[in-house]
Amino acid sequence: MKKVSVLLLSIYTPLLLYWMFFGFGREYDAQAAYRYNLVPFHTITDFALMRVGGRIDQWINLFGNVAVFIPFGLGIPFIKPYTLYSLLLRFGLCILIVEIVQMLSKRGTFDIDDVILNSIGVTIGWCLWRYIFNINKRSL
């Protein structure tokens, strides 16, 4: 399972990074100001209450930011079985770097809510891995 996880994540990660920097019509605008949100749950609340965007934007922001990170929580522990805390620390550092680069490259915003939602996705994936791991352990 380790080799399969390495293969799948080595394909999935660059695709996700491409999506995060170039997807959704992201274009570099030298004149644009840096955009960021440092207030936890601000963006989540805006989308949940439909203050911004439409229904599809709501789904993409709230559920997409969770769903696309489930594979990391599920796949990484098959490669190296981290505790949830250890995995979230490592993941948190990586996603913070990605969010900062998105903002500095003006190909997105730094949004603390994205970090929160992405971390929820990793946590769901890790819980799935733990469930699968426990089932396989019991059947041995």
The residue that leads in pLDDT, 55 or 120, is: 120
pLDDT of residue 135: 78
- Give yes or no for residue 74 having a pLDDT over 80: yes
Q: Give the CA distances from residue 59 to residues 44, 55, 65, 106, in Å, rounded to whole numbers and listed in that order.
A: 11, 6, 9, 23
pLDDT of residue 136: 72
The residue that leads in pLDDT, 96 or 25, is: 96
Q: Give the CA distances from residue 92 to residues 3, 59, 69, 87, 124, in Å, rounded to whole numbers and listed in that order.
A: 24, 23, 12, 8, 15
Cα separation of 17 and 79, whole Å? 20
What does the pLDDT average to over 63-81?
96
pLDDT of residue 139: 62
Residue pair 71/7 in contact (Cβ under 8 Å)? The answer is: no
The model's pLDDT over 88-137, given as tens digits with 9 standing for 90+, comes to 999 999 999 999 999 999 998 999 999 999 999 999 999 999 999 887 77
Coil, helix or strand for 96? helix
- What is the pTM (predicted TM-score) of this model? 0.91
Q: Give the CA distances from residue 131 to residues 48, 135, 138, in Å, rounded to whole numbers and listed in that order.
A: 30, 6, 11
- Give yes or no for residue 140 having a pLDDT over 60: no
Residue type, 57: D
